[in-house]
Amino acid sequence: MTNIAQFLMKIILVSTLFIASAHADDPFGEIATYDRNSFNRAVTDCDLLAAHHNDPERVSEGVTQNDMDKPAAIAACLKALENDPDNPRLNYQLARAYGYSGLHEESDPYRLKALNAGYPQSLFVIGYISILSWDGRGADPCYGGELVRRSALAGRFAGLVGFPHYVQMGTFDQCETYPAINKTEMKSFLDQAKNSTDDYYHLILIERLEKGIEGLSLGGE
């Protein structure tokens, strides 16, 4: 191997190690910005059987946990993913069906694929799971909090109201690096939530959260 070739190989190796190290230090480094136009939005049986009724990216009416036929949903989503393996909506829905079945390890790769695509519903749901240890595998409120925050940045209503709620509950009081907590940003979340609903109960919740933010001592005032 020539000296030039050896030099180039060293550059590639160092660059690879640097990138790997950066992602190791940044657990959010793989998460992309979701673009719905990049994915097929045709309705599949997976959508009919496993879509979440509050998912803003759903393409069907959606079903509740109690109404879901979980074995049928898993089978339908596995089949749909054979033809469209990178679709974050389908990956999220399969993860949902597995999760409701108590098959959390089976759901993990599909949750991760939807998360790394920046799928708003997945950002919120995995954040929620991490904050509350919904799957029984241990809580990580700091990591989960940043995911809920990012779901708010993506416009997910649950994140827009959920993140200020968790801040006011003290959920992230022991967190250091993340989630990012900023009063001005949280006010913008609640403004966006307020402008997206006319539901009486939603508006009451938003009003209480707005008053709670005023009493917090945070940056970005």
pLDDT one-digit tens code per residue, 124-149 = 999 999 999 988 889 999 999 999 99
pLDDT at 218: 74
Distance, first Cα to last Cα, the chain: 59
Mean pLDDT of 29-50: 96
C-alpha pair distances (Å), 171 with each of 60, 168, 179: 34, 8, 10
C-alpha pair distances (Å), 2 with each of 7, 9, 12, 208: 9, 11, 15, 69
pLDDT at 89: 98
Least confident window among 16-20, 22-26, 41-45, 143-147 = 16-20
Does residue 67 surpass a pLDDT of 60? yes
Does residue 35 surpass a pLDDT of 50? yes
Does residue 70 surpass a pLDDT of 90? yes
Read off the pLDDT of residues 88-138 as tens digits, 9 standing for 90 and up: 999 999 999 999 999 999 999 999 999 999 999 999 999 999 999 988 889
Does residue 49 surpass a pLDDT of 50? yes
| Residue located via tokens 């992309």 | 32
Average pLDDT, the chain: 89
pLDDT at 215: 87
Q: Which residues of 169-200 are buried (b: 16+ CB within 10 A; e: fewer)?
A: eebbeebeebbebbbebbbebbebbbeeeeee
Does residue 6 surpass a pLDDT of 60? no
pLDDT at 2: 52
pLDDT at 135: 87
pLDDT at 221: 54
pLDDT at 11: 38
Confidence band, pLDDT 50/70/90 cuts, at residue 13: very low
Which has more pLDDT, 5 or 75?
A: 75
pLDDT at 27: 86
Mean pLDDT of 201-209: 97
pLDDT at 79: 98
pLDDT at 8: 37
